[in-house]
């Protein structure tokens, strides 16, 4: 029906479809078209996303089980400089593109229901299209240089979409902090990108992999610095410690954008890191840095999540934790496990956030301590349960197989400390998601310390079908993901003892949390922790205060000193020169009498003065 060669040669059109939709959305902004309302902008972007998905799906069927193909598009040629955009056409890249487009399509349908009464549709859907174009372009791109450019586009998109409701001060602060934090990592990443080219002579991922595997002779310190710089970019993109606070503040944006950001947008940083793994592996220091950052983020993220009372913040810190596990996987050279974890995390997290969004829209609060008794919404409840089960290592769902593949690699390399980290992270994550479910659906709602039934919880209905359809679809995909992986022959092999350990860690977390928050076995679970520990977890180990004291305050004081120095020293010196010139000019104007004899007298006087000086200084030496 379709020419496979034509589909492959026009693969560059996939990111162009959403860009076309974003451009057409401009006509439905309030300044241009008022008669139709903003809705056509959403429908146009749905159509362009569907076109991109169809193109990606047909191209994927054409390259399935085929060797990777490469396509180059000339971008710039000036004198001897030629820059081309290389594209990789393989089952992996096109499969990632299909996953991104499917999720984006579901998020757009969800947004139509969630943002039904909002008049900013054209801006919202244009920004969703910008994310879609950036992510699909990045997974197809075979160039580190162009991947960096696309990451910058996604950073800009994050700033704009987090600041969607820009008339609120917290939204503006969240957008600013997200932009500046990601730019910090981007700047260091750019240094690594530029420093790598003179060594490797290329920016193409495929050629960089060949160069790295050829065991090049490079200085260990130099490669260590480059490797650390290449890791710094994904640290900020994936919200890893210590650049993790932006993801929590980005929750101020609309919830449909949160679904996309927490599931796939933050994962594109991990995608670049996976593609660069052969180069980063040249530096043991860089690999150890990845493992260290991932370990702190995984344990810290899950630990903080169990103490949050804001549903969106719980999901934010869980996203940080699972990105940390991906860092550990890449840092131990387990690329396949990292990719599988990216997929399972994206599916489960998007489903959880769709369910959380359904609850928030109905009860008009994000505080889970104000919820409870919401079993009147069985579809939402079952969807959240499916998402929770798919996220943790609970067989036979996707999260179990991804963590199993990672654990098998760690056991084979005898990294027992990291085995413990994965088991602990999984147990705490299981505790966190069951706590979230129990706070929302089990028992009765709370106001302060008093349990009571409120109309917000007991009479909150299921949401509109436009939100239910994507949620149920994602639930079906999450539950059937292992069957899909088995059909594609990429399901990991079962390892009995490792699988038992993973399952046990999940059951411990689920059982303890269920006892506390579902069956209400303890009145106040917080009492099991010391108040200081509770405060540390609830306030993110006071990371924001540490930033304020260690970074922001010193930089602010240095800026004030630099401002004083500029005003009083630099500007003072310049002003002194100007004042001197002005004063001398004002003085000299009184000597301009217009009489030639006065000028002659002045000349004679200074010539006499000069002659006297020369006679005193040089005549004695001559004599």
Q: Are residues 525 and 544 in the same domain?
A: no
Tokens of 559: 């800026």
Please tell me whether residues 199 and 340 are part of one structural domain: yes
Tell me what the mean pLDDT of segment 55-84 comes to.
82
CA 475 to chain centre: 24
Same structural domain for residues 557 and 425? no
d(CA 128, CA 109): 12
CA distance 597 to 4: 99
* Beta pairing partners, 70: 88
Contact 38, 121 (CB under 8 A): yes
Complete DSSP assignment for 501-535: HHHHHHHHHHHHHIIIIIS--SS-GGGGS-HHHHH
Whole-number Å distance between alpha carbons of 165 and 121: 12
Most confident among 80-84, 422-426, 539-543, 544-548 (mean pLDDT): 422-426
Note the pLDDT of residue 289.
94
The DSSP element (H or E) to which 81 belongs, if any, is strand 81-89
- Does 373 share its domain with 278? yes
The per-type count for the chain, helices as H runs and strands as E runs, is 27, 4
Give the CA distances from residue 530 to residues 435, 503, 536, in Å, rounded to whole numbers and listed in that order.
19, 29, 10
Residues 459 and 336 in one domain: yes
CB 266 within 8 A of CB 238: yes
DSSP β-bridge partners for residue 78: 81
So what's the pLDDT on residue 387?
94
pLDDT of residue 573: 84
- Helix/strand/coil for 366: coil
Handedness of CA 448, 454, 455, 456 (dihedral sign): positive
Q: What is the pLDDT of residue 1?
A: 53
Q: Rounded to 5 degrees, what are φ and ψ at 141?
A: -75, 140
According to the model, what pLDDT value does residue 447 have?
Answer: 47
Stated pTM of the model: 0.88
Bond before 203 cis per omega within 30 degrees: no
The pLDDT of residue 121 is 84
- Note the pLDDT tens digit of each residue in 339-372: 999 999 999 999 999 999 988 888 878 888 888 7
Which contiguous run of DSSP H or E holds residue 64? none
Q: Which residue has the tokens 């004063």?
A: 583
Please check whether residue 404 is in contact with residue 491, taking contact to mean a CB–CB distance below 8 angstroms.
no
Closest listed residue to residue 399, CA positions, set 438, 347, 350: 347
Spatial neighbors of 502 by CB under 8 A, at least 6 apart, are 393, 400, 403, 404, 407, 423, 426
DSSP summary character for residue 540: G
Residue matched to tokens 């990371």:
543
Helix, strand, or coil (residue 118) = coil
Query: In this model, does residue 225 exceed pLDDT 80?
Result: yes
pLDDT in tens, 378-426: 888 899 999 999 999 998 899 999 999 999 999 998 899 999 999 999 9
Claim to verify: residue 427 and residue 497 sit in the same structural domain? yes
Greater confidence (597 vs 164) lies with: 164
pLDDT tens track for 413-467 = 889 999 999 999 999 999 999 999 988 888 665 544 445 555 556 556 778 888 8
Domain match, 334 and 186 both: yes
Query: Are residues 108 and 202 both part of a single domain?
Result: no
Q: Is the pLDDT of residue 475 over 90?
A: yes
**128 shares its domain with 168:** no
Cα 150 to Cα 152: distance, rounded to the nearest angstrom: 5
pLDDT digits (tens, 9 = 90+) for 567-581: 888 888 888 888 887
pLDDT level of residue 526 (50, 70, 90 thresholds): confident
Strand partners, 322: none
The answer to whether 70 touches 142, Cβ cutoff 8 Å, is: yes
Pairing mode of beta strands 446-447, 450-451:
antiparallel
List the structure tokens of 612: 């006297």
Condensed to tens digits (0 to 9), the pLDDT of residues 111-133 reads 998 888 777 888 889 999 999 99
Q: Are residues 284 and 161 in the same domain?
A: yes
Please tell me the total count of domains within the chain: 4
Query: 175 with 228, same domain?
Result: yes
Q: Pick from 142, 162, 188: which residue ends a domain?
A: 142
Q: How far apart are CA 327 and CA 330, in angstroms?
A: 5
In degrees to the nearest 10, what's the CA dihedral of 451, 456, 458, 459? 160
Q: For the ranges 25-34, 215-224, 289-298, which has the lowest average pLDDT?
A: 25-34
What mean pLDDT is reported for the chain?
86
Structural domain harbouring 294: 144-530
Q: DSSP of 243-306, one letter per residue? A: S-HHHHHGGGS-HHHHHHIIIIITHHHHHHHHHTHHHHTT-HHHHHHHHHHHHHHHHHHHHHHT
Instruction: Pick the closest to residue 143 from 227, 219, 74 (CA basis).
Output: 74
Do 89 and 190 belong to one domain? no
């Amino acid at each position: 029906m379709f020419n496979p060669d034509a589909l492959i040669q026009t693969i560059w059109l996939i990111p162009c479809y959403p860009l076309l939709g974003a451009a057409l959305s401009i006509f439905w902004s309030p300044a241009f078209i008022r008669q139709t309302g903003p809705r056509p902008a959403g429908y146009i972007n749905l159509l362009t996303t569907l076109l991109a998905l169809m193109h990606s799906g047909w191209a994927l069927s054409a390259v399935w089980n085929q060797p990777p193909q490469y396509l180059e598009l000339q971008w710039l040629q000036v004198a001897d400089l030629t820059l081309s955009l290389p594209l990789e056409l393989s089952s992996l890249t096109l499969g990632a593109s299909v996953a991104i487009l499917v999720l984006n399509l579901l998020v757009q349908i969800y947004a139509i229901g969630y943002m039904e009464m909002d008049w900013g549709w054209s801006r919202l859907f244009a920004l969703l299209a910008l994310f879609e174009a950036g992510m699909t372009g990045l997974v197809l791109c075979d160039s580190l240089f162009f991947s960096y450019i696309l990451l910058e586009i996604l950073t800009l998109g994050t700033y704009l979409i987090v600041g969607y409701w820009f008339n609120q001060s917290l939204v503006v602060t969240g957008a600013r902090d997200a932009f500046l934090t990601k730019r910090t990592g981007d700047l260091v990443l750019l240094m690594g990108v530029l420093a790598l080219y003179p060594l490797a002579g290329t920016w193409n991922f495929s050629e960089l992999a060949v160069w790295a595997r050829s065991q090049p002779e490079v200085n260990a310190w130099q490669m260590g610095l480059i490797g650390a710089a290449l890791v710094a970019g994904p640290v900020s993109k994936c919200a890893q410690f210590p650049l993790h606070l932006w993801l929590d503040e980005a929750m101020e944006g609309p919830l449909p954008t949160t679904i996309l950001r927490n599931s796939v947008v933050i994962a594109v940083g991990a995608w670049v890191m996976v593609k660069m793994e052969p180069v980063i592996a040249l530096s043991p220091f860089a690999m150890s840095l990845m493992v260290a950052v991932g370990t702190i983020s995984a344990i810290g993220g899950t630990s903080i999540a169990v103490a949050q009372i804001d549903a969106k913040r719980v999901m934010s810190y869980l996203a940080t934790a699972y990105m940390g596990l991906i860092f550990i996987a890449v840092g131990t050279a387990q690329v396949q496990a990292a990719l599988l974890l990216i997929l399972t995390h994206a599916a489960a997290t998007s489903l959880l956030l769709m369910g959380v969004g359904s609850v928030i829209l109905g009860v008009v609060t994000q505080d889970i301590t104000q919820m409870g008794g919401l079993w009147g919404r069985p579809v939402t409840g079952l969807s959240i349960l499916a998402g929770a089960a798919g996220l943790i290592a609970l067989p036979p769902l996707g999260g179990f197989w991804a963590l199993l593949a990672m654990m098998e690699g760690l056991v084979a390399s005898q990294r027992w400390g990291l085995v413990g980290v994965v088991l602990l992270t999984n147990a705490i994550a299981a505790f966190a998601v069951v706590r979230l479910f129990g706070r929302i659906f089990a028992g009765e709602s709370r106001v302060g310390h008093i349990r009571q039934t409120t109309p917000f919880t007991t009479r909150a209905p299921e949401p509109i079908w436009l939100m239910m359809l994507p949620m149920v679809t994602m639930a079906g995909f999450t539950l059937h993901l292992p069957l899909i992986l088995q059909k594609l022959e990429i399901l990991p092999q079962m390892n009995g003892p490792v699988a038992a350990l993973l399952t046990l860690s999940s059951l411990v977390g689920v059982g303890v949390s269920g006892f506390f928050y579902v069956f209400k076995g303890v009145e106040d679970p917080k009492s099991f922790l010391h108040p200081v520990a509770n405060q540390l977890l609830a306030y993110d180990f006071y990371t924001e205060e540490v930033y304020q004291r260690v970074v922001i305050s010193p930089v602010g004081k240095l800026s004030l000193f630099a401002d004083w120095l500029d005003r009083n020293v630099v500007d003072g010196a310049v002003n002194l020169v100007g004042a001197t010139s002005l004063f001398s000019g004002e003085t000299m104007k009184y000597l301009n009498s217009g009489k030639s004899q006065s000028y002659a007298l002045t000349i004679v006087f200074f010539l006499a003065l000069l002659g006297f000086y020369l006679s005193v200084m040089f005549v004695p030496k001559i004599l």
